Structure 1
Amino acid sequence: MKNLILLVVLFLMNAVASAQVAIIQDKDGYTNVREKPNGQSNIIHRINNNEAFWYINDERKSDEEWVLVYIPKNPYSLGSTQSDYIEGYIHTSRLKPLEKLQPYKGEDFSFKYLLEPFALNNRIVDRYNGAVTAIAGRPVWGTDGDFPKTQVKDLLVTIEGNKLDISKAFYCDLFECTNTFNVYKSGDCYVVYQWNSDGAGAYQVVWVFTKNGLKQRLVGSMI
């Protein structure tokens, strides 16, 4: 049974590993997610404009009208490192891959991690077969079973000169971060996209902000 569970987990993680990140841009402000790749199939969810999600980019099927998407159940990815999402289909005309957005070059938005060396500081560590699986009950993004080398001390975000207050809960599980990332703007949203890694534990993180604060944090592991 344990081997079966492991195979299922690896399959799901590989599915997201081969996926890319996108948003939707729809004149109605949302698009429907269908159970199957056709317009008569049951609607299982609705994606609003500027919500980030994963999709499968299969160039061999570039002429198809529907694309498989993975939608996180939690808008801030506050669960485990195993991706927690639902699957469905949306019409390709609604899909907007992040790399197709215009890079943001303005001065109204700034984003920066304040980094420091990792320190355990009496936090409780969970292990499995000797590998570090959680610190203080949270997943350890950015490592492959070892203790991290760097952690985020603070997240500095300003929009139109106003500093946003970002809770530590949204960055305390992110490790091996750098201040190398891409920034995009879509509507009133600023989107930050990057890869972080210790060399083996690669993961992607997408931040979506408005002037009112953090709207979404999408985090995914890679195989």
Structure 2
Amino acid sequence: MATAQVAIIQDKDGYTNVRENPNGQAPIIHKLYSNEAFWYHYEEGHDTDEWVPVFIPINAFSFSSTQPDYIEGFIHKSRLQPLDKLQPYQGTDFKFEYLLEPFKLNNRIVEKHDGKWVKTIAGRPVWGTDGNFPRTQVKGVNAIVDGKKIEINTPLYSDIYECTNTFKVYKSGDSYIVYQWNSDGAGAYQLVWVFTRDGLKQRLVGSMI
């Protein structure tokens, strides 16, 4: 069974080449840089494969209509650093919290599929449900790095629903990485935030199963 998981790279050069096909002579189609989150497919029984299929979002904040847009390629297995293999962060230099409230439509325009299932709200995806209206929404996000509050604008949380303050935090270099699954039970999705002291570097959102 193939499952999509989240990873960053491990490479002393600070980047890894993404190739079109699973071999070292294939054309380079992209470069992944340190602490840039992406999906990869792990397939049970394929532990001896030297090349891993990866799925890289085409923009840093997963702004898309209803599904994540990404490019596909391959990286060498030695360059792969799965998030769940990192040690969870236990320090006090980073704090993260959602401010949550019950869902309110507030006159936003709703697009429905087949006139029944909610597809978008105000032109944005509805992550966390399976066609129903959400139960909870995010009204703000508090993130603090080394005592500095990080500004997170409304578009970065206006499409994520059914969030909780249960998540894992990892630290890699100068980056803090927040990872979680959210859903109402059916519309599960992965959500990754990558911060440094300079601000939010990436928001990875999607359901890659």
Same fold (TM over 0.5): yes
Q: 1:23-43 CA deviation, whole Å, 9 max, x = no partner?
A: 002110100000111111100
**Residue number among 44, 66, 70 corresponding to 1:85 in the alignment:** 70
Contact 1:81 1:220 in 2 (8 A): no
Q: Which residue of 1 aligns with 2:120?
A: 134
Say if 1:222 and 1:201 are closer, same or farther in 2 by CA, change over 3 A.
farther
**Residue number among 171, 174, 179 corresponding to 1:188 in the alignment:** 174
**Residue number among 9, 20, 45 corresponding to 1:24 in the alignment:** 9
User: Would you tell me which structure has more strand in proportion to its own residues?
Assistant: 2
TM-score normalized with structure 2 length: 0.97
Q: Which residue of 2 aligns with 1:158?
A: 144
Q: Aligned partners of 1:39, 1:221: CA distance in 2, in Å?
A: 29
Structure 1 segments unaligned to the other structure (5+ residues): 1-13
User: Would you tell me which structure has more helix in proportion to its own residues?
Assistant: 1
Q: 1:31-61 CA deviation, whole Å, 9 max, x = no partner?
A: 0000111111100000001100000111311
Deviation, 1:222, is: 5.2
**Residue number among 168, 177, 185 corresponding to 2:154 in the alignment:** 168
Q: Aligned partners of 2:75, 2:65: CA distance in 1, in Å?
A: 26
User: Number of residue pairs matched?
Assistant: 208
Q: Which residue of 1 aligns with 2:39?
A: 54
TM-score normalized with structure 1 length: 0.91
Q: Which residue of 1 aligns with 2:102?
A: 117
RMSD: 1.3
Contact 1:156 1:164 in 2 (8 A): yes
Q: Aligned partners of 1:132, 1:145: CA distance in 2, in Å?
A: 5
Q: Aligned partners of 1:206, 1:119: CA distance in 2, in Å?
A: 25
**Residue number among 180, 199, 202 corresponding to 1:213 in the alignment:** 199
Q: Which residue of 2 aligns with 1:38?
A: 23
